[in-house]
Amino acid sequence: MRRRNELTEEEMKIIKKTISDDEAFDLFFRDCYLRNLRPATIEYYKNEFHAAKKFISIPLVECEQKGIEELILQSKKVMKITTINTRLRALRAFYNYLNKNKLIEKNPMKNIKLLRDRQKTIETLDNKEIEALIRVLRKKKTFIGFRDEVVLLVFLDTGVRLSELIGIEVDDVRDNKIIIRKTKNLFERIVYLSDTTQEQLKRYLMIRGYVETNKLFINRDNKELKPHSIQTSFSKYGKEAKISKRVSPHTFRHTMAKRMIMAGVDAFSLMTILGHSDMTITKRYVNLWGPDIEQKHKQYGALKGLKL
């Protein structure tokens, strides 16, 4: 029997130079290290790739657009839209790298868009809730309680991220400002402290004293403070203060942003203070506080004062 002239898809796969998932991962993460991506970003990629393989039955390097679409459909049954989009961003970075370096013929993410999701109002704390948190901390009369009061003041004064706060060293504190070195976008920036925070920080440094680590905030064993410890503690303080909202470092960052906006700070200055890479997220902050915008409209609306 005479052979067909054209090769089948299976035969073409044998001829084609292929790369395994492990080889692709090695190359991708090597590139991540060369670009000096944050360890947290690299860990995020690793976790998302591992999770994606549970939904895709073939090697990721062999996946086509239909495979990604099937992943989305299956994921929607068990995940929130934000979680799916987080996974899609990781896969997009992976396939873009492979396609750019000609390690795969087609990019399965080329025509895949992030899923539309409703923009939720970001929760922030009001004056009474902040004061209730401070009261809970002051009742403790412990080193940890006072340390966390200062941590709260720094969060609310500067809007720093949790990872940035953990990275602050004693030498980074300069009178009314702190140099933030461990930033998300690798650009150092300066944040400023109110008189209240300055005074409490000075008292904290006196009580802290000299310890082996140069990190500003330490635990009861005089060791470097861990992010999880701060998150867990403030969640517990929120419950003690009978605050129904989520109490977390991210909530403090949003609260700071809102208070600055309502005080009249311009978006560009806020972007610089918060360390945003572009104006996109800052604009979202400006547009999010519905009830406050409504109040401003009532106060300053164009028709106010007209006798019509």
* 133, 238: one domain: yes
Q: What is the DSSP letter of 123?
A: P
pLDDT tier at 260, thresholds 50, 70, 90: confident
| Each residue's pLDDT tens digit, 115-160 | 887 766 678 899 999 999 999 999 999 999 999 999 999 999 999 9
| CB-count exposure of residue 108 (10 Å: 0-12, 13-18, 19+) | buried
Q: Which residue(s) pair with 179 in the sheet?
A: 190
Specify the length of the chain in residues: 308
* 238, 187: one domain: yes
Beta-carbon-side half-sphere exposure of residue 128 (alpha carbons within 13 Å): 4
| Each residue's pLDDT tens digit, 45-79 | 999 999 999 999 899 999 999 999 999 999 999 98
Nearest CA to 156 out of 185, 128, 197 is that of 197
Number of domains in the chain: 2
pLDDT at 290: 42
pTM above 0.75, yes or no: no
Answer whether residue 111 is part of any domain: no
| CB-count exposure of residue 67 (10 Å: 0-12, 13-18, 19+) | middle
pLDDT at 70: 93
Domain enclosing residue 222, as ranges:
127-299
* 78, 144: one domain: no
Q: Cβ(193)–Cβ(201) under 8 Å?
A: yes
